[in-house]
Each structure stands twice: as structure tokens, then as C-alpha cells.
């Protein structure tokens, strides 16, 4: 009887702990969703309005001033893109597998912990249509390898990562301002990147020098109704 009571109490304690954890998770998700809405509805709109005002001012300004205002507009556009990326990362997922965007942001966040400043991430095109399947898995693995090379071998202070889906292709590009990639890194990880791309009918290109490295991984996008392998 004592053993049964003890088991019941342990079971109840576990249920209460699970309920508290679920409640805390729900509150956290609600808070993240609220922050995402505020960023989208207020911050992005204010930045967009400021950019329009600067564009109008540039049109009525002399050459040198107009050029500086144009640079400010470009900086605002970049800030808007970064805020939208943050908004997407904060938005709770509706179950299922993580999107490609979330997977890439998780990798960038992990790499950022080992760099002087966070990895600057940008997306263009319908990248979230590639959330599942071999292409998404290979691209994610390749991004992980590219970021790992930048962190381990480059000594970079600044790293950028872009994912672009356009013209029936997806491209991942990582650039850094480090000292370049040595021969040891080229023999293993970079060969894996090339194999991953070519296996999907794509390509891998690398431009590395003592001034920095730019690596570009690309592969064709295929869908079930237009898959060239079928």
C-alpha cells in the first residue's frame, strides 16, 4: 500500500511538472509572437517610412548629399531585411518539421557564439518551399560545413550568409573577412561540399585569399511534378 501511494505521488508530481513546463512554454511562445508582431507592425513600418522620406530628400539634394542619403536608404533597407528575419525566427512554428529558414538561423546562431559578431543572414525568394527532402537536408549540411570552416579556419571578424531561391536554383553563399582557408581544410570538408552539390546536379565554387573567403554552393530546385530524376 505504501509503495502504491508513493508511486501515485511520483506520478502526480511528474504530471504537475509537465503541466508547469507546458504552461511556461506557452507563455514564452505568446511573448515571442507578441514581440514579432510589434517588430513587424511598428519597427518595420517606421523604418520603411524613414526610408521613403530620405529618398524624397535625396531627389531634391545636390550630388554629394544625395549620394549620402542614398547610402542611408540602403542601410535602412538592410535593417528592414534583418528585422524581418528576426520576426520570422520569433514566430512560433505550426508543428511539423522546422522550416529551412529556421534550420539555417539555428546554424547561424550556433556559429555566432564563436565569432566576434553575429553572422549576418539574409534570405531571398521562396526558400521555405524547400523545408523537406534531400535538397533541404543537403543544403543544411552544406551550410553547417561552410560556417564551420569560417569559424575554425578563417580567423574572421565578420561572416555573412545568404540563401537565395531563384531561377529554379537555390544558392547558399558564405563570405568572411578572415585569412583564407588552408590546405588541410580544403582536402576534407570542401571536397564534401563539392560532392553534395554535384550529387544534386549543382556546383560548389570557392574564392579564397589572405583577404577573405567567399564560398558558393548551388543546386537545382526540383518538385515532384517536375523532378528531372523521375
CB of 146 within 8 A of CB of 134? no
Full strand arrangement of the beta sheet holding 212-220? 120-124, 159-166, 169-176, 212-220, 203-209
Between the CA atoms of 14, 17, 22 and 27, what dihedral angle is there, to the nearest 10 degrees? 180
Domain of residue 192 covers 100-226
Q: With a cut of 70, say whether residue 29 has pLDDT above it.
A: no
Q: How many helices (H) and strands (E) does the chain have?
A: 7, 5
Count structural domains, the chain. 2
Strand 159-166 with 212-220, pairing: unpaired
111 and 195 both lie in a single domain: yes
Strand 212-220 with 169-176, pairing: antiparallel
| Grid-cell match 505568446, residue found | 30
178 and 136 both lie in a single domain: yes
CA pseudo-torsion sign 219, 221, 224, 230? negative
Q: Which of 69, 90, 111 is the last residue of a domain?
A: 90
56 and 109 both lie in a single domain: no
Q: Which of 90, 108, 132 is the last residue of a domain?
A: 90
In this structure, the number of other CB atoms found within 10 A of the CB of residue 80 comes to 17
Between residues 10 and 70, which one has the greater pLDDT?
Answer: 70
Tell me the C-alpha distance between 121 and 16, whole Å: 40
Per residue in 61-75, pLDDT (tens digit) is: 888 888 899 899 888
105 and 50 both lie in a single domain: no
Say if 29 falls within a structural domain.
Answer: yes
Three-class SS string for 109-134?
HHHHCCCCCCCEEEEECCHHHHCCCH
User: Considering the entire predicted model, what is its pTM?
Assistant: 0.60
71 and 141 both lie in a single domain: no
Say if 191 falls within a structural domain.
Answer: yes
Say if 166 falls within a structural domain.
Answer: yes
210 and 135 both lie in a single domain: yes
Between residues 101 and 174, which one has the greater pLDDT?
Answer: 174
51 and 104 both lie in a single domain: no
CATH of the domain at 113: 3.30.565.10
CB of 44 within 8 A of CB of 84? yes
Tell me the C-alpha distance between 1 and 62, whole Å: 90
Tell me the C-alpha distance between 130 and 138, whole Å: 11
Per residue in 176-205, pLDDT (tens digit) is: 998 887 665 455 668 888 988 999 999 999
137 and 199 both lie in a single domain: yes
Per residue in 30-67, pLDDT (tens digit) is: 777 777 777 777 787 788 888 888 988 988 888 888 88
Q: What is the pLDDT of residue 162?
A: 94
Amino acid at each position: 500500500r505504501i509503495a502504491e501511494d508513493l508511486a501515485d505521488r511520483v506520478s502526480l508530481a511528474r504530471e504537475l511538472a509537465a503541466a508547469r513546463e507546458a504552461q511556461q512554454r506557452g507563455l514564452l511562445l505568446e511573448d515571442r509572437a507578441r514581440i514579432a508582431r510589434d517588430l513587424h507592425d511598428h519597427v518595420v513600418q517606421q523604418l520603411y517610412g524613414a526610408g521613403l522620406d530620405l529618398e524624397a530628400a535625396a531627389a531634391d539634394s545636390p550630388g554629394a548629399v544625395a549620394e549620402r542619403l542614398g547610402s542611408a536608404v540602403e542601410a535602412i533597407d538592410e535593417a528592414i531585411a534583418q528585422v524581418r528575419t528576426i520576426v520570422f525566427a520569433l514566430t512560433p512554428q505550426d508543428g511539423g518539421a522546422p522550416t529551412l529558414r529556421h534550420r539555417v538561423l539555428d546554424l547561424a546562431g550556433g556559429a555566432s557564439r564563436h565569432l566576434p559578431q553575429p553572422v549576418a543572414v539574409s534570405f531571398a525568394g521562396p526558400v521555405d518551399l524547400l523545408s523537406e527532402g534531400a535538397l533541404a537536408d543537403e543544403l543544411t549540411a552544406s551550410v553547417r560545413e561552410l560556417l564551420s570552416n569560417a569559424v575554425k579556419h578563417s580567423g574572421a571578424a565578420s561572416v555573412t550568409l545568404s540563401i537565395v531561391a531563384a531561377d529554379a536554383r537555390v544558392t547558399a553563399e558564405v563570405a568572411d573577412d578572415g585569412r583564407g582557408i588552408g590546405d588541410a581544410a580544403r582536402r576534407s570538408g570542401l571536397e564534401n561540399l563539392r560532392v553534395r552539390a554535384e550529387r544534386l546536379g549543382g556546383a560548389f565554387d570557392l574564392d579564397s585569399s589572405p583577404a577573405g573567403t567567399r564560398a558558393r554552393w548551388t543546386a537545382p530546385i526540383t518538385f515532384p511534378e517536375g523532378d528531372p530524376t523521375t
